[in-house]
Amino acid sequence: MIVYNATKSQFNDDVNFNRISDIILHNLREKKLSGGQLAEYHSWQNSDGFGFGEKLGSNWWIALILGALLTIFGIIVILNPMLGLGVIGVLVGCSVITAGINLIYLGCSPWIL
């Protein structure tokens, strides 16, 4: 069932001006569907910026660096799969260390009760 139908530019405008939740709710009710509870409607509003129309803004360089690193990693895995496994191990290790540091910081924060 289609509850939203628009062009890409209309969709971007609806997301950027925070109208998408109201339009979807209106279309659901127009088709004689409940449209969910109020909590569901608020979850639509809260998630509009996270995946529909979130702009990178001044953090565009993060996507550029990640894209370049993933491209290099893909080439490494194609050329030498065993080296690729080592790189995966290093990346997982770095992410675990980072998560541990974040959790220690979070645990030491005075505003956490």
Residue 97 lies in a domain: yes
Residue of higher predicted confidence among 94 and 33: 94
Residue of higher predicted confidence among 4 and 36: 4
Residue 3 lies in a domain: no
Whether residues 26 and 62 fall in one domain? no
Residue 1 lies in a domain: no
Asked if 112 and 106 count as a contact pair (C-beta separation under 8 A), the reply is: yes
Identify the pLDDT of residue 15: 77
Whether residues 38 and 77 fall in one domain? no
Residue 2 lies in a domain: no
Residue 43 lies in a domain: yes
For residue 37, pLDDT over 80 is answered with: no
Identify the pLDDT of residue 77: 82
For residue 31, pLDDT over 50 is answered with: yes
Residue reference for tokens 């790189």: 87
Confidence at 92, pLDDT banded by 50, 70, 90: confident
The domain total for the chain is 2
For residue 2, pLDDT over 80 is answered with: no
**How do residues 39-77 score in pLDDT, each as one tens digit?**
766 666 666 554 444 555 666 777 788 888 888 888 888
Residue 27 lies in a domain: yes
Whether residues 63 and 85 fall in one domain? yes
Give the whole-number percent of the chain exceeding pLDDT 70.
72
Asked if 17 and 44 count as a contact pair (C-beta separation under 8 A), the reply is: no
Whether residues 102 and 62 fall in one domain? yes
Token pair for 45: 């509003």
Domain that holds residue 69: 58-108
